[in-house]
A and B are shown apart, each in its own frame.
Chain A
Amino acid sequence: MDLQPVWDWFRWLYEATGIKLTIFYDDFDRSRFFNGFLTSVRLMGVCLVASVAIGIVGAWLQGARSHLVRLVVQAYIQFFRNTPPLVQLYFFYFALGSYLRITNENGLSVPLVGNFAWAAICLSFYAGAFNVEIFRAGIEAVPRQTIEAAESLGYSRLKAYLYVILPLAFRISLPALNNNLVNLIKTTTISYAIAVPEMLYVANQIWSDEVNVPEMMNVLLVVYVSLVGLLVWAMSRWERAMRVPGWGVS
């Protein structure tokens, strides 16, 4: 599909009104903004999946027999829930990152973990801490008798968790999970602070070069509203698809 007429229209818009959306008609800006968008979407995707996985595993470990395991999970939750995500990001990138360096083939010291990876790790654990608590609340809402029925049928603790507790807890947790994931999507913008070339970062570069701050601010708002809207729509579809006739809020 040839989009040249669209780009030309935006150039005409600029010439006619002064609204300077270079990300449409300037090839270089368009390409860097698009790459920033893709970086953001990739970061969001990785963090969504990883934080939900952390939540599921963490909630399982919270019920572990070992006191030590439960203590570690609790410490993790407290650490990530009670510190600002930006401080966490700085801590990972500047404090931990300064130790994790290797010498490359040219004899230069380079970071072992790049900034995108640090952002993904930090944000996944940050949202994951909340997800653990969200799933725990869901698990606690599963009736004790239902779990007992599974036990009486010979289910082990792990199998009862996988086949009975988790499917029910997940459905109970979905609305709260939905909230936290929306929050996660929006929080990806803080990776700006460690120069991950995501959307906010490239937008800043563009408005510095083109002096079109109001336009880029509007672009950012529209894109984030759309991305969050897409997630909320997908989550509510999922919620509907998982609804069980005659059970819970149906």
Chain B
Amino acid sequence: MSWTPKEPIVSVRDVHKRFGAVEVLKGVSFDVMKGEVICIIGPSGSGKSTLLRCINALVPIEQGSILVEGQEVHDPALDKLALRRKVGMVFQQYNLFPHKTALQNVMMAPLHVLKQDKAEVEARARRLIKKVRLEGKEDAYPGELSGGQQQRVAIARSLAMSPDVMLFDEVTAALDPETVKEVLVTIRELAAEGMTCLLVTHEMGFARELADHIYFTDRGVIVEHGPPAEFFANAKDPRTRQFLSQIL
């Protein structure tokens, strides 16, 4: 199946996911076009993070379909490596490899997984470190970096695989208020360069500024969605309004 940029780069259709007795996703559908920035907001436990992890095939789904560039993620015969080359993921807790320096963290996957040439990978990794404004920190270990710095290394590490889509799972939730900004600046630059981004976030100001489209999820379903201006100004569903009144 060949995919063209006219079609959605990520297409989620009626996805159901349960953990034991708890149904976390109860039929979620949405599309993301290439270059779009999508923000998923909602109370904790509403299935936002699970949704991102399904897109990356980190967790299997029970029902429905997820297409990334036309390829079914839920297909048992799926080449997960090929999928994960296309989809980068950044986590709330950074999850860097603590035994490797910042530069090595960025270089590891292209060397081990893609088996690319070391000199070329290193040059690219140094450019990415510079891009996330961490020049001079190449040889620092994750344990020697602040949360914001670690998160930017994690972003560079994902970018090193040259993904087409980036998933950000509450990437600023574990950071100090001052360092949140450093990370948001990096994501803003990525979005400006045309990277397709799916963000689960609690940064409403950021979502309003950056998102092309906002999805509000609660208890496993998308309650309401729309462009940020419309979404924040006149939310219709009472659940959305209650959520927004609590955090804005």
Contacts and interface: CB of A to CB of B under 8 A. Distances in A.
A154 B81 CA distance: 5
A246 B99 contact: no
Contact of B113 (A154, A168, A244): A154
Interface string B74-117: 00000011001101110101011111000000001100111000
B167 to A, nearest CB: 8
Interface size class of B (residues with CB under 8 A): 20 to 34
Given A148-B58, A148-B91, A164-B97, A244 B143 contact: yes
Contact of A149 (B81, B97, B114, B161): B97
Given A167-B99, A168-B99, A153 B141 contact: no
Q: Of residues B108, B154, B158, which shows the largest number of chain A Cβ atoms within 10 Å of its Cβ?
A: B108
A247 B81 contact: no
A207 interface: no
B56 interface: yes
B143 A247 contact: yes
A136 interface: no
A38 to B, nearest CB: 37
Given A245-B143, A247-B141, A153 B91 contact: no
A4 interface: no
Contacts of A164: 97
B98 A148 contact: no
B144 A154 contact: no
A46 B96 CA distance: 36
Contacts of B148: none
A153 B161 CA distance: 8
B142 interface: yes
A163 B112 contact: yes
B95 A146 contact: yes
B95 A149 contact: yes
Contacts of A145: 91, 93, 95
A152 interface: yes
A148 B95 contact: yes
Given A146-B98, A159-B113, A167-B99, A154 B84 contact: yes
15 contacts: A143-B95, A145-B91, A146-B95, A148-B95, A149-B95, A152-B56, A153-B109, A154-B84, A154-B109, A155-B113, A168-B98, A245-B144, A246-B141, A246-B142, A247-B99
Contacts of A148: 58, 91, 95
A156 B143 contact: no
Contacts of A167: 99
Nearest to A167: B99
B69 to A, nearest CB: 15
A167 B109 CA distance: 15
Given A151-B84, A156-B81, A164-B97, 15 more contacts: A146-B95, A148-B91, A148-B95, A149-B91, A151-B58, A153-B84, A153-B113, A153-B161, A154-B84, A154-B161, A155-B112, A163-B112, A244-B141, A246-B141, A247-B98
B58 to A, nearest CB: 6
B155 to A, nearest CB: 12
A36 B98 CA distance: 45
A20 interface: no
A148 B113 CA distance: 15
A243 B195 CA distance: 38
Contacts of A153: 84, 108-109, 113, 157-158, 161
Contacts of B144: 245-246
A154 B142 contact: no
